[in-house]
Every structure is written in C-alpha cells, then in structure tokens.
C-alpha cells in the first residue's frame, strides 16, 4: 500500500527495548528475520537510558514512547532525530535512505507493543518520494490490525507457555512427592518423543504412513508429561510402603512394645508365684525358656514384616498361632483418637476393662470403606474402566498385612497404586481440551494397557490403541527398568532391561513392532547415553531379539 522499498518491524520486549523482528530492502535483495530463517544481528534499540531518561533521538524509540506516527520526508535533512545508523548503512551499501514512516503498533489497551517503519516510498516512475498524507492513515489502519494480530499471537504463545510450565510443574510435583519416582515424569516424555520420531522417520513397513503434524506433536508432548498426574491422589505411605505393617509409621514398633508387655507379664507372673511360695526363687529355667520363645516369636514377626521371604502356609500358620497370645490392656483405647478412627471403632461396643487382647489383631476398625466414588466399580462407568475393585478401600489388619504372600502391598494398596491411571484419565477428561488436543487423555492413560487386552484400566487390545499410546507403554517400562534413582532397587543394565522387555513382548504385553524399531533405530542406545550411568551401558546384541 505504501509502495515502500524497505521496512523494519520492531517488537517491544519486557525490558523496554525494540528488538529487530523483520528487515527488508527490495532493491538490495535484503530479507532477514521473520520466516526467512536468517537472523538479524543488529543490537536492540533501548527505549530508555540507564538513568531512566527516554531515548527520543531514535525515531523508532520515540514513536514507541509517545505512541505517535512520525513521517520524515528526508532523513538527511532531519535534525530532530539521529539517523546515523541509516547513514552508516548507506555508506556501506551505496544506498540512499530518504523517506521514513514510523508507526507505533498498539494493542487493545493502547499499549505500544512494537513499531513498524517503512523506508523510501516510490512513485510510479520508481523515484523515492515522501509518504503522502493520504497514504499515512491507511498505513496506520493496517498497522492497527497488525497490532491486534500480533497481540493475539503473543497471548496464544503466553498461554501455551503457561500451560507448558503448569504441566511440567505438575510432573515435577509428582516426582518430588516420592523418591520412588525420581525423575520418571521428566524422562518418560523425552524417551516417548525419541521413539515417536523414529516411527515418523521410517519409510517402509508398519510405520511407513505414520507421521504427526505440529499440533499432534504438541498433543503428544502434553500427554507424555501428564501421564502420571493421577499420582497426586496416591498417598505417600502407600507408594513408599517399605514394610508390611507400615502406614504413616511402621507399626512394628507398636507390635514390639506389645511383646515387651508380654515379657513383663511373664516376669510378673513368675515373681507372684515366688511370693506366693509356689515356685523356688532360684529356679528361673521355665521363665527364661518362655522369654526366649517370646524373643524368637518377635524375630519371626519382624522378619515377616520385611516382606523378603515368601509366606508359605506353614509360616502363615505360625503367624496366626503367635497372634493368639494375649496381654492385658487396662487403658481405654478410645481416648485421644481422631474422629475418623473413633467412628470406625464405634462399629463395635467398648469392652469392660481390663481386657485380654490378642498380640496381633485384625479389628473392624482396621477396615477403611470407600469414601468416594470408585469409577472402576461401576461396570457402566462413562470412561470404560474395567478394573476389579477390592471390597474395602484399605485393610490395615495386622495379621492380614503380615500374611501378604510376596512384597509389602495388600490387594487394596496395590489397587490404590494402579488407580493412579484411573485418576489421570478422570482428571484429564474433565479439562476442556481444544479439538487438536482431544487425544491427550487417551495418550496419557494408555501406558499400562497390554497388547493382549489384559492391561488396565480399560483392558484395551493393542490394535485399538494409538501408536503414541503404545509408544508410551514402552517408554514407561524402559525408564522404570533403567532408573537409577529408585531406593528400593538397583538400576538394571541396558542388556538386562532389553532382555526383560523381550519377554514382555513375547507375552504380548508390549508392541512387538515398536520394540523392534526401538532397537533397530538405536533409540535405546541414544537414551542410555543421555540418562544412564556408564556402569549400566553394556553391549546389547539386538539381533538376538528379532
């Protein structure tokens, strides 16, 4: 519209400088910035000096500060502004900078967010002329529309940056919540992107037609970063449960105190019999034998608590026999307890004191009922979850927990941990994602599904899962196997991890084609070089797995 030979677009920064965004001079063939891919190396224009004084000698900064349009007929005749930069450019190129039209870009709040400067208006004969009074309002109107578009772009970018930061904050919070997760939520997205990029780059075979648009890449980015966001609902004492009796504290200390009481009672009985003349004061053989049995029983209970040895039937039988031993309680166990615990205890009538209590107990108040909606319990739930839900939310019974066959988790606690993926999907489904991000819940929520349909939470068959969701499953497993920041296990080597994953492929738990790509593309090695300790990185004969 202005028929200008050149122009410059400046963007105002948060530091009140004008940054060169686009430069063009048609007659010199100069095009930098913008979509050209050629950087502009010129320094930014300061709007204010170090002492806060406005920079009114530069025409662009003056326009930005005052919000006024400046129309200069000939820069060489102007003594109001400093055009030494333009004159220096002319000396180096043989160009002649003459007419300038400098227009501030104002947003809806009338704040200047940039400056548009046009250079050397040309007439029909190609001669340089001034920008006319007729063309100036049109340029100003166009600049106003450009400012609105630029402001919208800035707002969208700011919102995207805020969303990204919030997503990474959520993932970091999940990792920080427990040392058992470490940097899991940060490493899985990186591995997911690496394997997805390899799938996009394949020119033949299963993934020959697979590719992601820019929006789909962003969708994958969000889904990967939020894949474990539901873990914020999982109690730390469940995730971090190191012994069978551990809740917020390890209840083995309470059990040990009871054993101490039982030992004192044995000593008291012995002394009472001596006082009554029914036993010789010097004969403590029976007492010492009983105390030794009690010590041995506690050592057995303590060993059971660690969860290191499989609880065979004979071990459970001995546990139950020990639990039947009683001790005397003379104090009211309902004094000083929290309201929630007191409510559970009121399901049974109080007993008259003193009372003989079992050494280990499974009491009604050890049972915690589900206090909120369990989506998986409803076969018609709107999310399609198909997980078996235990009858109770928690069962903290002492015999019940000590009888756990392997590990330290009860069925209820294992469900609670697995339920994190349910909570992830529910949380993400409630967010109003735009249409180009609508698959985020599916991508984030599918990494515990298996190819044979035996995974959770929806028991989806592999063929019904998207490629990004299947990639997430491989990334999640590989990161977990190789992670060096899990205090409950040693990090596995590269070869050990690949071998375990190969068994999971044979059992149809992981996608075989993606696993092959994972190896053939070298993604496993690239990831290892970035994130594994040198001692973990050993040789892998990938041909053994094809």
Burial of 223 (C-beta count, 10 Å sphere; 0-12/13-18/19+): buried
- In this structure, the answer to whether residues 70 and 120 fall within a common structural domain is yes
Judge whether 518 lies within some domain.
yes
Q: Give the dihedral sign, CA 88/93/97/103.
A: negative
Give 486 or 388, the one with higher predicted confidence. Answer: 388
What is the C-alpha radius of gyration for the chain, rounded to an integer number of angstroms? 37
Q: Is residue 161 part of a domain?
A: no
The answer as to whether 133 is a domain residue is yes
146 and 187 share one domain: no
Same domain, 101 and 11: yes
Angle at 486 between CA 485 and CA 490, to 5 degrees: 95
pLDDT digits (tens, 9 = 90+) for 205-220: 889 999 999 999 999 9
pLDDT of amino acid 137? 94
- 84 and 135 both lie in a single domain: yes
> What pLDDT does residue 455 have?
94
Would 411 be classed as within a structural domain?
Answer: no
Residue 85 counted as domain residue: yes
CATH number for the domain spanning 64: value is 3.30.450.40
User: Tell me, what's the pLDDT at 487?
Assistant: 61
What's the confidence (pLDDT) of residue 512? 95
CATH number of the domain within which 518 lies: 1.10.3210.10
Identify whether 422 is part of a domain: no
Clarify whether residues 121 and 27 are in a common domain.
yes
Do 146 and 259 share a domain, yes or no?
Answer: no
Q: How far apart are CA 243 and CA 102, in angstroms?
A: 73
In a domain, residue 146? The reply is yes
pLDDT at 212: 95
Residue 194, phi-psi category: left (phi > 0), alpha (psi -120 to 50), beta (remainder): alpha
By residue range, what is the domain housing residue 516? 181-211+436-545
Query: Strand (E) positions, 87-225?
Result: 100-106, 112-122, 128-129
Q: Which of 167, 187, 243, 174 is nearest to 484 (CA)?
A: 187
pLDDT score of 283 more than 90: no
Which of 348, 368, 388 is where one domain is finished?
A: 368
Same domain, 474 and 508: yes
147 and 201 inside one domain: no
> Are residues 200 and 71 part of one domain?
no
Per-residue pLDDT of 89-103, as tens digits, reads 899 989 999 999 999
**How many other CB atoms sit within 10 Å of the CB of residue 169?**
11
Q: Are residues 122 and 191 in the same domain?
A: no
Look at residues 368, 389, 412 and tell me which one is the last residue of a structural domain: 368
Residues 489, 364 share a domain: no
Let me know if residue 15 belongs to a domain: yes
Write down the H helix ranges in 276-410.
Answer: 285-306, 313-323, 339-345, 398-402
**How many domains would you assign to the chain?**
3
How far from 178 is each of 224, 240, 272, 482, 486, CA to CA, in Å?
Answer: 19, 7, 52, 18, 10
pLDDT of residue 316: 96
Q: 196 and 110 in one domain?
A: no
β-bridge pairing 4-12 and 17-25 = antiparallel
166-219 pLDDT, tens digit each = 888 888 888 777 666 668 888 999 999 999 999 999 978 889 999 999 999 999
Q: Indicate the residue among 368, 399, 423 that finishes a domain.
A: 368
- Range ranked top by mean pLDDT from 38-42, 253-257, 342-346, 489-493: 253-257
Question: H or E segment at 500?
Answer: helix 494-506
Q: What is this structure's pTM?
A: 0.77
């Amino acid at each position: 519209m202005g028929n200008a030979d050149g122009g410059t677009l400046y963007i105002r920064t948060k530091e009140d400088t004008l940054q060169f965004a686009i430069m063009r001079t048609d007659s010199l063939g100069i095009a930098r910035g913008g979509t050209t891919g050629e950087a502009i190396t010129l320094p930014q224009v300061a709007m204010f000096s170090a002492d806060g004084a406005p920079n009114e000698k530069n025409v662009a900064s003056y326009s930005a500060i005052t919000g006024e349009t400046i129309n200069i007929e000939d820069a060489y005749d102007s003594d109001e502004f400093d055009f030494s930069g333009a004159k220096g450019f002319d000396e180096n190129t043989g160009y002649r900078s003459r007419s300038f039209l400098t227009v501030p870009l104002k947003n809806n709040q009338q704040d200047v967010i940039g400056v548009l400067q046009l250079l050397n208006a040309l007439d029909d004969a190609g001669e340089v002329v001034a920008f006319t009074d007729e063309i100036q309002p049109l340029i100003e109107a166009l600049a106003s529309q450009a400012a609105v578009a630029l402001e919208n772009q800035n707002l969208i970018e700011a919102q995207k940056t805020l969303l990204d930061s919030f997503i990474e904050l959520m993932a970091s919070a999940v990792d920080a919540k427990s040392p058992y997760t470490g940097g899991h939520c940060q490493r899985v997205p990186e591995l997911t992107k690496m394997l997805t990029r390899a799938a996009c780059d394949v020119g033949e075979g299963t993934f020959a037609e697979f590719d992601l648009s820019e929006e789909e890449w962003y969708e994958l980015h969000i889904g990967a970063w939020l894949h474990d966001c539901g873990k914020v609902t999982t109690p730390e004492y469940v995730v971090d449960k190191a012994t069978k009796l551990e809740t917020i504290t390890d209840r083995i200390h309470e059990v040990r105190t009871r054993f101490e009481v039982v030992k004192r009672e044995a000593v008291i009985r012995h002394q009472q019999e001596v006082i009554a003349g029914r036993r010789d004061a010097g004969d403590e053989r029976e007492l010492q034998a009983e105390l030794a049995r009690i010590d041995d029983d506690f050592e057995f209970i303590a060993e059971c608590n660690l969860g290191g040895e499989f609880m065979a039937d004979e071990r459970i039988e001995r546990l139950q026999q020990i639990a039947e031993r009683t001790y005397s309680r003379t104090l009211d166990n309902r004094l000083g307890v929290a309201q929630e615990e007191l409510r559970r205890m009121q399901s049974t009538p109080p007993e008259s004191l003193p009372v003989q209590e079992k050494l280990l107990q499974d009491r009604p108040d050890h049972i915690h009922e589900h206090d909120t909606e369990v989506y998986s319990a409803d076969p018609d739930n709107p999310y399609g979850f198909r997980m078996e839900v235990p009858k109770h939310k928690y069962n903290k019974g002492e015999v019940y927990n000590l009888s756990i066959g392997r590990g330290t988790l009860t069925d209820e606690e294992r469900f609670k941990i697995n339920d994190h993926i349910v909570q992830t999907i529910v949380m993400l489904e409630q967010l109003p994602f735009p249409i180009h991000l609508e698959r985020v819940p599916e991508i984030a929520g599918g990494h515990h599904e298996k190819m044979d349909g035996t995974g959770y939470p929806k028991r989806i068959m592999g063929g019904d899962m998207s490629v990004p969701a299947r990639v997430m499953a491989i990334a999640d497993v590989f990161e977990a196997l190789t992670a060096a920041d899990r205090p409950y296990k040693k990090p596995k080597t590269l070869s050990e991890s690949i071998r375990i994953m190969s068994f999971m492929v044979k059992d149809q738990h992981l996608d075989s084609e993606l696993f092959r790509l994972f190896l053939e593309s070298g993604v496993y090695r690239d990831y290892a070089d970035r994130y594994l300790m040198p001692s973990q990185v050993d040789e892998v004969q990938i041909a053994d797995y094809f």
